Amino acid sequence: YTMGDKNYAREMAALLDPSGRLFGGRIIANSDSTNAHTKDLDIVLGAEPAVLVVDDTDRVWPHNLASLIRIDRYHFFPQSAAGFRQPGQSVMDRGWVDEGSHSSCDRAQLCDVLDVVAAAHRLFYEGTAAAGAADAALAAMAAALERTNAGGGVGATMARGVRGVEETAADRVVHLVPNMPGRGKEVAGDVSTNHAAPIPAPAPLADWRVVSEDEARRVLESRDVRRLLAVPGAGPLAGTRLVFSRVVALSEPRPERHPLWLLATALGAEVATAADDRTTHVVAHGGGDSWRTDKVKWAAKNGAYAV
């Protein structure tokens, strides 16, 4: 979905997806939009409760902000960064590697977005035949990266961080609903070790119960991905209250749309902009003097965890 014209959209799609497997002709340009200056889900063939938007400009989505995952504007060339009053901030200026996994990529925000989308997919389709599709896609991508990098480097690193999935959603013939009471409590303690808490693995097949097509449909119709990402629920971070330090820009008008904020909420955490007596963890951007920020110092003084 672009505010550019059709010719621009086709050229970009040809560069990003030369085989046509990703977009498949599903491109919306400015001439398709119902408003010349804004974007809207009113022309997207999909129910709003099941749609997420990834964009670097929130003002063009005035009616769909609850669906937005806001990312930083991408600048590869120095001229592009300078044109947006961000001199020296381009990928070329910084000598960044902007592809691959978290551990090998300097600009990891797209990896963060992928984590948000995968978490949203797990939450939305939990209990249905599509429950494992996100993990299957991540595993397939990791395998492709591993092949591309001859079994090492970026692909191997990502592959180690992705759970193996034995069957894809297309292989399943029944709808399943997990019996997992207290799922969040069982793993919430992992956070207190200052290590990243793992996303809980799907329940063993024996712990799932078969439901009818109608019940599975009712489950999906009752869910809204916008609420699943915005309201803390059961998950590995349930019971924690996080504050970010040097992760979300102070000038960010809608910090709650940042990928890491959304990911933390999707995993069960409550996120705030300022530390208080209920804060359990301060999550700081790594590198440099990040461990000397005011919020990290506050954590050390008040018994909160600094991650």
Q: Which tens digit of pLDDT belongs to each residue from 160-219?
A: 333 333 333 333 323 333 333 333 332 233 333 333 333 334 344 344 444 567 777 788
Q: What angle do CA 265, 143, 183 make, to 5 degrees?
A: 30
Q: List the single range of 151-155, 183-187, 265-269 with lowest mean pLDDT.
A: 183-187
How far is residue 293 from each of residues 7, 157, 270, 287, measured CA to CA in Å?
47, 30, 21, 12
Residues 6+ apart with CB under 8 A from 294: 245
Concatenating the DSSP letter of every residue in 37-79 gives S---GGGSSS-GGG--EEES-GGG-TT-GGGEEE-PPP--SHH
* Residue 278 pLDDT greater than 90, yes or no: yes
| Torsion angle of C-alpha atoms 152, 154, 157, 163, degrees rounded to 10 | -110
Pick the residue with more confidence: 163 or 257? 257
Given this model, what pLDDT does residue 86 score?
84
Given this model, what pLDDT does residue 175 score?
34
Taking the alpha carbons at both ends of the chain, their separation in whole angstroms is 36
Chain centroid offset of residue 254 CA: 16
Residues 6+ apart with CB under 8 A from 249: none
Q: Which helix (H) or strand (E) holds 243?
A: strand 241-245
Map tokens 């505010």 to a residue.
3
Q: What is the mean pLDDT of the chain?
A: 76
Cβ atoms of residues 132 and 171 within 8 Å: no
Integer Cα distance of 56 and 36 in angstroms:
18
Pick the residue with more confidence: 154 or 260? 260
Give me the residues paired with residue 177 across strands: 209
Concatenating the DSSP letter of every residue in 160-221 gives HTS---SS-GGG--SEEEE--TTHHHHHHGGGGGTSPPPPPPPPPGGGEEEE-HHHHHHHHH
Cβ atoms of residues 179 and 209 within 8 Å: yes
Q: What is the DSSP letter of 36?
A: S
Give the pLDDT confidence of 236-246 residue by residue, as tens digits: 899 999 999 98
Cα dihedral 124, 16, 113, 42 sign? negative
